[in-house]
Structure 1
Amino acid sequence: MTTVKATPETEVERLLCCILPGTEWENHLYCVGGYVRDQLMGLDSKDLDLVVDLEGAAEAFCQRLHEIWPHCTTGPHQLGVHYPIWHIGFCRDIRIEDQTYHVKGAELDVADTQQESFPDDESRQRVTRFGTLEQDARRRDFTVNQLMRCCTTGKTVDPSGRGQQDIRDSVLRCHPDVDPRQVFRDDPLRMLRMHRFTVKYNWHPTVEVENAVAKEAHRIKIVSGERVRDELVKMTQTGNFANAIDYMHHTGLLAYILPEVDILTTVDQGTRHHSEGNAFQHTLLLLSKVDPTTVACFVALLHDTGKLATQERDGDHVRFHGHEEASGVIAGAVMRRLRFDNQTVDKVTFIVSNHMRAHHSKDWNSRAVRRFVRDMGDDLEAVLHQTEHDGQSSYGADGQPKPNIIPRLRRRIEEQLVIPIRQKPILGGQAVMDILGCSPGPRVGTAQRWLQEHVDQAACLGHEASAEEATVWLREEYDEGAADDGV
């Protein structure tokens, strides 16, 4: 086994090696899956999954651990009804004679070895029953994830005979006795996992695996939005999200999970402002530049999805007037379909809808700069980053990126921040109603916006207005008719 640093999980293995000999679980308990794979690759892993090739032994094993160390372990509980897995955690380190096992924080998922079937074509719901070690391995997606390690001897078991070599060769293949199409037909989420492994580890699926994905891609529709979301988020964390999106387009999977992005390959942008290629190629270029965070990646991914609906041609010139608003609507719909939380949906939608606004900043006066900062609020930095990377991913007819306008805008913002930019109206709604003698309604908001313009004008002249001054302005200078006309 490749040497890895000690973790609570590796300490659990050391503990098991000590306590298993002479018990009914000796030579029957195995570490499995990604935990073994990652350790053979020299990586840390916290996902410690165990299988027992004795029927009903998973529950008995967890209960026995808790009986021996009731104050060091959490109470065992079953995670699933149709696919029974027993969970137990360690809340304290364990000492046996003169040995301390630093297992605090480790979490174990333990199951009997299984064989499974998927009787319903419209569901990922599996039916399981007890199986052999070999059957348990064959139900797993790829040979690199079928590896096991005996907790008694520490010996690695390679049921397919290819898993360890495939790790060394960076190859993704299914068990040689299993049809890859059946692997993905049974559980279509495995197709997304294949793409994630490809970009995370720079692995190369076999031709048979790629062909199987192309033929079974339509099956991804039975996977819930939450599960698709989770896999996509994991892809963003690899730092290779652009490659993941491009590869999913290549295999045909993207057309089923994100058709709004896949169709961008058909959106010609012309060469005057986008000689880098069509809208999909531009999106990939942008994705390669942004930070590997969920918000930044999904903003970049969806920022131009409204271009198809807003495309206008004037000879060789292609325009997309209002595409940012259209993209914002689409982005919101996509994020909700993927079951993102409301805060993330709102944030991505807002940034996408405003990603073009700063492109016009060279013509702004100081009040416009202050208005922009106020309107962007807490998302100011995210909008600036998106705008900057978007510009650097847009190539003119000369093949060069557009001039970077953001550094100058940042300097202008910094100059304006000498006098703080108010996010809230200088006078509250009740104060405005008292001064104007009006009831709640649109008149209040109109007056507050008029006041904000005066506050900004004063700030541009180096003066920070007070609430008292705002009260005087509203009483003596406010022209409601002019304010309604936008003055």
Structure 2
Amino acid sequence: MIDKNIEMHIPIDVKIILECLENNGYESYIVGGSVRDCKIGKALPKDYDITTNALPEDIIRIFDKTVPTGIEHGTVTVMINGDGYEVTTYRIDGEYLDNRRPEGVTFVLNLKEDLARRDFTINALAFNEQHGLIDYFGGRLDLENKIIRAVGEANKRFQEDALRMLRAIRFAASLDFHIEEKTLEAIKANSNLILNVSNERIRDELCKMMVSNNSTKALRGLEETKLLEFILPELQKAVGFNQKNPHHDKDVFEHILAVVENSPQSLNIRMAALLHDIAKPNCFTIDKRGIGHFYGHDKKSFIMCQQILRRLKFDNQSISKISILVKEHMNVLTKPSDASVKRLINRVGVDLVRDLFALQRADALGSKSSEIRLGEISRVEERAMAILESKVPLSVSDLAVNGGDLMSEFSIKSGKEIGEMLKFLLDKTLENPELNSKEKLLAIIQHEYKK
């Protein structure tokens, strides 16, 4: 279907590319997500993908500055005013042998053939100002009816690239659409193929789900389609796990979903929320009264969290921050002293402590009778903010002495003992900030540490 009555905002640089291709005798269209997002009235897209019947060598010849970013698949990045725009030749994909990528591509002259290889009807829309909206597969109607539907045969689309199953879940969640029945059944039938997709690609889709407006819908979609047991088997164990505890009115999985939903849209906090109770099924014990307990689940969840994040190829900094939040999520101080709050800040880190309070608050909201715990969290947070504003020493780097001072004063070589001394001094200054002077700290080492 061609609709010439559709208007779409096109940035000046994108117009330049389209017009340049057309002036040289080629077809060119904006395609995919930017057309979809404009059609449903989302904020102006950041990325505009362009498709054309010009061959890669034609694109390179026509434009002054290009980068052959994916030339083997027909993609050339055209640079306009310092920004790059991907321009891809109409193509059909070769045979998929690994459920991840085609063995090769064949360039074609027909736009419909190019759109037919795309994943979902809502992503198989094309637009230019001359012809308007091009819709061969019912994508416009599916947008209006809020439907995620595979282009053509759903089984074939997912067997070509198994990551499309995760994309279906993500789009359904982020757009608040529902997955068409045959497409949904095809995901269930092919869910095991996700094992053929790299952990990096899975991680990227999962991260997008977790920061979306409807991350819990995505997680439910993963569980319903059996994808969860392949990408996060540890979380699958939480589904339906009865906590048998008066503080909880939900099973472990439903509690985790509630914590995720109550967390701010920060990837670190959302991932910590997802994994904060991941070890509970492994820690479950039940007492003589029939009450369930999960002793040490925070520490074991910390270990499992690191293992999962490494498996999904998260970067080291993210692994460190997320796992610290998981490890500390149970440390809500009921009677916070300045020293105990300072130690909490020291363990978590100044840049992460606010995230911890956000996670703890979400955890409380996901539990039964949360009012008391919410009050405790607020008191600790208020005390922590006052301490941070006071600029008192909170870490070894804040001390008035350093390792060099200790080595020089006490004729000690660099090694483990220096670190132990600095930790000893930090503990003293957390109790009494007035001790943080070089003279006093060296005296403490002389008279107390060396007893």
Same fold (TM over 0.5): yes
Q: How does 1:166-245 map to 2 (within 5 A)?
A: 166-175=142-151, 178-245=152-219
Contact (CA 8 Å) 1:4, 1:42: kept in 2 or not?
no
CA offset at residue 232 of structure 1? 1.6
2:334 equivalent among 357, 362, 368: 362
1:62 equivalent among 59, 63, 70: 59
Larger-Rg structure: 1
Distance change >3 Å, CA 400–CA 217, structure 1 → 2: farther
Whichever residue aligns with residue 59 of structure 1, its letter is: P
Distance change >3 Å, CA 370–CA 395, structure 1 → 2: same
Corresponding position: 1:332 with 2:306: yes
Counterpart-to-counterpart distance in 2, 1:112 and 1:327: 48
Counterpart-to-counterpart distance in 1, 2:409 and 2:154: 74
**Structure 2 unaligned regions, length at least 5:** none
**2:122 alignment counterpart:** 144
**2:52 alignment counterpart:** 52
Counterpart-to-counterpart distance in 1, 2:338 and 2:8: 57
Distance change >3 Å, CA 40–CA 452, structure 1 → 2: closer
Residue-by-residue CA offset, 1:285-334 (whole Å, 9 max, x unaligned): 01111111211111111111111222221132211121111111111122
Q: How does 1:119-158 map to 2 (within 5 A)?
A: 119-121=96-98, 123-131=100-108, 132-150=110-128, 153-158=130-135
**1:7 alignment counterpart:** 11
CA offset at residue 2 of structure 1? 4.8
CA offset at residue 364 of structure 1? 4.2
Whichever residue aligns with residue 173 of structure 1, its letter is: R
Distance change >3 Å, CA 193–CA 466, structure 1 → 2: same
CA offset at residue 344 of structure 1? 0.9
**1:268 alignment counterpart:** 242
**1:41 alignment counterpart:** 40
What SS does the aligned partner of 1:77 have?
Answer: strand
CA offset at residue 451 of structure 1? 2.5
**2:346 alignment counterpart:** 374
**2:18 alignment counterpart:** 16
Corresponding position: 1:164 with 2:136: no
**1:101 alignment counterpart:** none
- Provide TM-score, normalisation by structure 2: 0.89
- Provide TM-score, normalisation by structure 1: 0.83
Contact (CA 8 Å) 1:189, 1:220: kept in 2 or not?
yes
Distance change >3 Å, CA 478–CA 114, structure 1 → 2: closer
2:381 equivalent among 372, 396, 410: 410
Counterpart-to-counterpart distance in 2, 1:263 and 1:64: 56
**Structure 1 unaligned regions, length at least 5:** 92-103, 481-487
Counterpart-to-counterpart distance in 2, 1:133 and 1:451: 71
Runs of 4+ in 1 over 6 A off after TM superposition: none
Whichever residue aligns with residue 217 of structure 1, its letter is: S
Counterpart-to-counterpart distance in 1, 2:374 and 2:35: 49
Distance change >3 Å, CA 35–CA 126, structure 1 → 2: farther
Aligned residues: 440
Counterpart-to-counterpart distance in 2, 1:227 and 1:51: 24
CA offset at residue 267 of structure 1? 2.9
**1:484 alignment counterpart:** none
**1:87 alignment counterpart:** 77
Whichever residue aligns with residue 68 of structure 2, its letter is: H
Whichever residue aligns with residue 119 of structure 2, its letter is: D
Counterpart-to-counterpart distance in 2, 1:236 and 1:164: 27
Whichever residue aligns with residue 36 of structure 1, its letter is: V
Give the root-mean-square deviation of aligned CA atoms.
2.5
Corresponding position: 1:306 with 2:287: no
Distance change >3 Å, CA 169–CA 464, structure 1 → 2: same
Counterpart-to-counterpart distance in 1, 2:62 and 2:394: 59
Distance change >3 Å, CA 416–CA 40, structure 1 → 2: closer
Distance change >3 Å, CA 138–CA 388, structure 1 → 2: same
**1:95 alignment counterpart:** none
